[in-house]
Structures are given as C-alpha cells and as structure tokens.
Chain A
Amino acid sequence: MSQPDLNSIHSPEQPPLLEMRGITIAFPGVLALDNVNFDVRRGEVHALVGENGAGKSTLMKILSGVYVRDSGEVIFKGQPVFFTTPRQAQLAGITTIYQELNQVAQLSVTENIFLGSEIERGVLVNWPEMHRQARELLAKLHLDIDPRQPLSRLGVGQQQMVEVAKALHHRADLIIMDEPTSALSLREIEDLFAIIRQLKAQGVSIIYISHHLEETFEVSDRITVLRDGRHITTQPTRALNVDSLIRYMVGRDLSEKFPKEEVPRGREVLRVENLNQGDRLKDIHFSAYAGEVLGIAGLVGAGRTELVRAVFGADPIDSGQFYIDGKPVTIRSPRDAIRYGIGLLTEDRKQQGLVLKMSTRENITMTVLKRLTRGLFTSRRRETALAQQYIDSLAIKASSQNQLVINLSGGTQQKVVLSKWMATEPRVLVFDEPTRGIDVGAKVEIYKLINQLARQGVAILMVSSELPEILGMSDRIMVIREGRIRGFLNRAEATEEKIMEYATGANQVVPEAANVT
C-alpha cells in the first residue's frame, strides 16, 4: 500500500481516513449488516456502540479482513481496499486489539511485539536491535516494562499496553479496540485513556467499542450507534447523553437501569464457615438467606471468583464447612453442589458455561438430563417441553430449540445458562459477573430474572466488578480484599466510596492502593 500525502493529516477539509459505505453481509439465517455507513477521521476516537448482536464486531471484522463483505465499499487513505486477511489490513495500517488478547504468554514482551515481523541479521534474529526498538516503543507509551521478561509476568492491563505497542510498531493509522477495558482495573483504565489521548495527538485514529457507556463518553469524539445490523445515528459525543444514547441503542426508553425489588429476607439457606484455600481464600465466614441478593465486591484478583467456585465445589479447598438449611454438608465437586441445590453461572459463559456447538435445548437440559431419562432413554418429549418452558418464560430469542448457542447473542446465551440452572430448581444461585459483555436492554432483563428468583425464595450470590450493579441490585454487600472478607454493608448504608475503602484496604493508602492490582 503506498503512503498517502502525510502533510494533510490535520486538515479538516481532507476526506476521512476511513470510509465504509453500504456495507452488507449475510450469515446463514441473518442479515448481520444492512447497508451500513461508517467513517473515521484522522486523529479521531470514534466510538461504536450498540447492543450485542447489533453488528459492531461484524463491521470491525469486515474492516480488518476477517470477514468478507457481500456488498459495499471500504475506502482507506483515499483508496478503495478489499482486505481478505487480517494481515493485509495490518500491513495497510489497521490493527485490532481484541477483547481476548491474542498473544503468546510464554514469549517475551519483545517477541510478542515483533511476532511475525522479526528483525533479522542474515538468518539469525537480531535480538539487541529488537529489544532496543521494543524499549523505544514502550517508552513512547510511558511504560516502564523490561521487554525481555515473559509476557505472562505482566498484568492484563500491561499486556494490553504491549498490544498497543505492537500496533505502533506496525505504524498503525487506525487501531480498533474491542472492549479494551473489560479486564482492567480502574487505574489501568486511566492509563489506557491517557495512551489513547496520546495516540490521538500523534494523528492515530481509534475505533472504540465498549459496553461501558461512561467510558465511551469520556474518551470519544464521535459516537455511532448500530442496532440490528443497521446504522442508527452518528453524532458528536458532546451532542449526546447517556439517556439519549441508550434510547438510540435499544430503540425505546429504559425506565430503570436497576429494577430492584424489595423481597423480605427469609431463612438462612447456606452457611460457610472457616473456608481456606491456599493464599487465595482465608478464613471466610458468611451466610446466604432465602430471597436475599448478597453482592460480592472487590478488586480484580481479590478472590471473589475463587470464593464462589470453592462454594460450588469447582476447585479443591484446604478447609471449610458448608451448611445447607443448618445441616452440615460435604461439597467436593460441582455434582455435590448441584445435589444440595447450588448453581453457578460462571463469569466466562463461552469457556465454562455453555457447550457452544450444542443446541439451545441441549444446553438448557444438560443439568437435568437424569430427570428426563426413563429407563435407558431420555424422553425427547419431556426434554422439548422443559426447554420450551424456559425459552418462553425467559423470552429466549432463538430461531428454534435446535439453534446452536454459538449463534446466539451474549444476553441470550446468558439466559440459556440461567435456564439450565433454573431447571435444577436451585436453593442458592451464584452469578459471577452476570451481565459481563451483555447489552443494556438484556441487562435489565437479567436483573428482572434475578428479582424473580429472589421472590421465589432463592438465595442469590452476585459477584460483580461493576459497582453500580452491586449497589443497584444487592440487599447486602460483602467486600473482599486479598482473599479475606473485609466487611459487610447493608443496602441502605452502601456507597461506592465505602465499598472502595474496604476493597482497597481502608483509607490509609488510597492513591497507591490501586497500583497493587
């Protein structure tokens, strides 16, 4: 690809860096993008928002050469382009930083930056030169990282920065960031935003995709909304607010973000005493009550997921006693936990919650197949009826019971996981990040289902990294730091500040504390 006239970078009359016109692509059974227009100016941060399934990722995959469009044109740096592999897009100057980082954790930072474009001297790799250039790139991003260390030693946030460095190395004009903050701590998010501003100043354009609307407002210049594969609007960020944006995204008003219902607290269902697991969990004591939503808050790595997995029998523990309805029980495996009426919606639906290549029906009935089996054979009639019951009551948007869950949107997938646990008629239901990667409209539906379960007397445990969600939905909040419970807060007294005090280690070292993650 030839270099265009670089002197024209900041001239506003110049044509946009990227222009996508009339982009259309169909997948089996769905018109994923319908005549979508989208453009990015030089040095602009353009946010792309929309519910899951709106077509954001598809549009970006067409841009980066992962998918091939059925019709429409893409003009990049003034020339029509047709990328058919991500590598072509990268060579032209478009780099994508994916939600799930595609890096090799065992290799060094330098090796990751230069993966596929190693500098050679003769037939040998020129290590000194590569390390030197890597150090330069990292310095440009104000990162104090030794490029020789393996990537696995870095935190998720820093690994992402390395990815940005890699993009710079490829002299990217346009960087696509797909949910870049989903795994980052608050401090790391701040760092990322600083780098985004810096890249902007250098004339690099960024397409920013996030479910966190607040972030979108903080970092973007313009916002484009997609819905159901169609372009809805493109406006300067300052012309929008959260409410108007949500209206564009869902096509209607959202009465409440957190439709919390007060349910009287019932009897104790689950009690955990003296739970210990290596360095990860220490001296955990708590109870969960029928009808109560117990929020579990803490920084990333504090031990929240470890705690709920231990209660579910998914990981071995050193010690701990569990009581169901006051009676001591032994939980050594998920099967034990399920027998005692505990269910777990894992934070990672695709890796741990669903069998993606199986049908909606088969995923829903997976936990209760035993119950649907008479003699040797499973009853297809009972199975279909059970699956349909949940598809109807949870309004699961699948084209049929046979639709593979891999083809469902994130929110719908979460409903399938929820169905699978509701089918076990649980006493205790644990939600680990119940709305991660789920769009605004579907979030509210999930919250309503949580309400409904609480009303039916299920004890709910809810791990979440989103404080508004914790505050909005919990009756009681348990805060964890470094594997220990640091305190409980009632709904009435809880604030973001109080939670953060417990989560970061009281008020002593607040500014530095976030560094520890």
Chain B
Amino acid sequence: MSESAVVNVQPSANRASRILRQVVVAAGPLLVLMLMVLFLWITSPAFRTPTSLLLIGLEAAAIGVVAAGQTFVILTGGIDLSVEAMVSFSGVVAAILIAGTNIAGGQIAFGIPAGAAILIALAAGTGVGLLQGLIITALNINPFIVTLGFRSILLGVSLVWTRGAGINIQKDALLSFLTGHIELGSLKIPMPLIIALILYTVVWVTLRHTKLGRYTYALGGNETAARLSGINVGLTKTIIYGISGLLASIGGILVMGRLQSGAYQNGTNMTLISVAAVVIGGTALSGGTGGIWGTLVGVFIIRVVEAGLVYLSVPSNAKEIVIGAIIVLAVALDVLRRGDIPWLRIRRKSSA
C-alpha cells in the first residue's frame, strides 16, 4: 500500500476494496478448490471423466451431511466428537431392523421395511444428540468431554450389537432409490449427492432465515449477551446437538445403504474430517462466524485431494500425511486472508 493511496482515501474506492476483500474472504476456499480441480484436470486424463467427478460427489455426500451438523455445533462455539460413532450407530440400528437380526442373538424378529427402519434410526440418533445437548447445558459440562464420552458409548453399543462384524442387508426399492442415481442424459447424478445438496439448502435457510439460525450465531458470538437478551441458550444448544445427531444419522444411513452393511467402522475418521471441513470452510472454531457453504467447499477440498492422490499414483499409505498437511495449510491460508498475523502484515506494509 503506497502512502498516497492511503492519504487520498475515497469513499467509493474504499467500498470497492471492502467488497473485493469480502469476495476474497468468501471465495478463498472455493478458489483453492478450483485451482486443485484445474491442476488435476490438466495433469490427469483419468480425472477428466464425468464418472470420476461424480464419484467424488458421491464420496462427499455422506461426510458432507455429517459436516453440516458439525457446522451448526461449531458455530455455537461447541464441538461434536460423537459424529463418527453416530454414523456407525444409526447404520447399525437401521441394518438390524431391516435384516431382523443381530449377530449376537441371531434372528430376533422379522425385518421391517427400510423406510420404517430408517425413521427409527434417525429418531434414535436425534434422541442421543438431544440427550448430549441436555447434559452439556443442564450440567454445564464441556461439549468436548460429553461428546467424547458418547463417541465411546455409541461405538461400544454398535460393537456389542454387531459383535464387531457387519450386518448385511438386501436393498429394497427405497434404499436402492436413496443410494442410486438419477440419469441426466449420459450423466448419472448420485442420489446421495442430491440429498446432501438439499440438506445444505435447508441448513442454509435455517441459519439465515429462522430464529434458531440467528440464535446459533448469537450464542457463538457472545453467550452472555445472548442469555441477557432473553434467548433460551440451553434449549437452543440442546436442539443444535439434536440437529447434529440427526444429520450424522442421515450420513450413517447413506453410508450403510451404499455398503449394504451396518458396521461399527462405518463412520471411521468422519469426526476429524467433518471438523476439518468446517474449519477449512472458514468457520471459526471459537464460534459466531462462518457459514454452511464454506463447509461444503471444505468437504470437496478434502475429497478432491484424496481422489487426486489416487490419480497421481501416490501410495495410499501416504494419504493421511497429505490430508493432515492440507488441513493445516488451509487454516493457515484462512488466517493469512484475514490478515491476523502481525509480523506478516507489517512486512507487507513496510515493503510496499
């Protein structure tokens, strides 16, 4: 920034720079995603096919739904470490009900239709989410601890009910529909991706145009002020952990349906990835600022990186290293964009 530019500040120029800044801040992760896609597009012919792109979309769907719930929780300044267990749990519950069996006790009943089984599994997941929220708010315990505890409980229940194996199911019409695809000309759009996009729209509207959404940001921004403004902080938080439970359970059904198996490993790694996606998407871990579309971009960034490693023939064992680096890098970029690093800001100004 040169001296004269600063002294002759014009309101209009100022507004333009502010808008530009907002665009950059909003589009930052999206820009990264586009650059990555462009890079793979150029370097890898295999990546260039519609099939591989749609596959990435499919891979992103379930974790995307889970991360949507995580976004809610993180916006309030909390965290939900139970989501990966919730994914497994809801899948196991649904699979047991559909198959009418569990490994531990053999046949317990006749299987019920997938639709009913899914509803019961989602209700169970939502209930456990609400229970976590209730414990967090009523007893004023750190969400980190409560959700960590429930992660173990839910994984344990899934393990006990399945004896560590998967419960395999046959797809009925509904499950086939939910995990299938819609043909659009020659393109086969995965249904889970469509479901995820619909849910993201619902979450966006909720955050943007409902009381609950406003309260989410308010108590993430300043819980004391929210309480003293008459907002029912306890109820709001409880509902939000319920929402996270519900969305994680939906994610669980999508995973289970695709694998045709309910197993305690179904949600492996999803907590880490969901938190990473939220943060990469620009939502502050401290709460109060951020949004849902950033999270979607974050999910795609992670999935594109994973796919890219395959296309670039990087050994799969090295995957974790790259993912970890991407997480740290993305957050570092976010901090840079907001210009929160004193020594760097100084260098930028004094070197101009």
Contact = CB atoms under 8 A, between A and B. Distances in A.
Given A26-B6, A26-B9, A68-B350, A335 B230 contact: yes
Interface string B105-146: 000000000000000000000000000000000000000000
Most buried by A among B215, B231, B288: B231
Contacts of A367: 229-230
Nearest to A420: B229
Nearest to B289: A357
Given A68-B346, A346-B228, A355 B221 contact: yes
Most buried by B among A82, A346, A358: A358
A460 B261 CA distance: 65
Nearest to B342: A85
Contacts of B3: 70-71
B224 A68 contact: no
Nearest to B212: A376
B18 A28 contact: yes
A84 B214 contact: no
Interface size band for A:
35 or more
Contacts of B225: 351-355
Given A28-B17, A314-B228, A70 B217 contact: no
A26 B222 CA distance: 28
Interface in B335-352: 342-343, 345-346, 349-350
B341 to A, nearest CB: 11
Nearest to B218: A355
A312 B227 CA distance: 11
Contact of B218 (A344, A366, A424): A366
Interface string B37-64: 0000000000000000000000000000
Contact of A378 (B209, B218, B221, B346): B209
Contact of A334 (B14, B221, B227): B227
A84 B349 CA distance: 11
24 contacts: A26-B6, A26-B9, A31-B9, A68-B345, A70-B7, A70-B349, A71-B3, A71-B7, A85-B343, A314-B228, A335-B232, A337-B230, A351-B222, A352-B222, A352-B225, A356-B221, A356-B222, A358-B221, A362-B214, A362-B217, A367-B229, A369-B215, A377-B210, A378-B209
A337 B214 CA distance: 21
Interface string A416-450: 00001000100000000000000000000000000
Given A71-B7, A358-B217, A334 B210 contact: no
Contact of B288 (A68, A352, A355): A355
Given A70-B7, A82-B350, A378 B214 contact: yes
A376 B206 CA distance: 9
B319 interface: no
B1 interface: yes
Contacts of B9: 26, 31
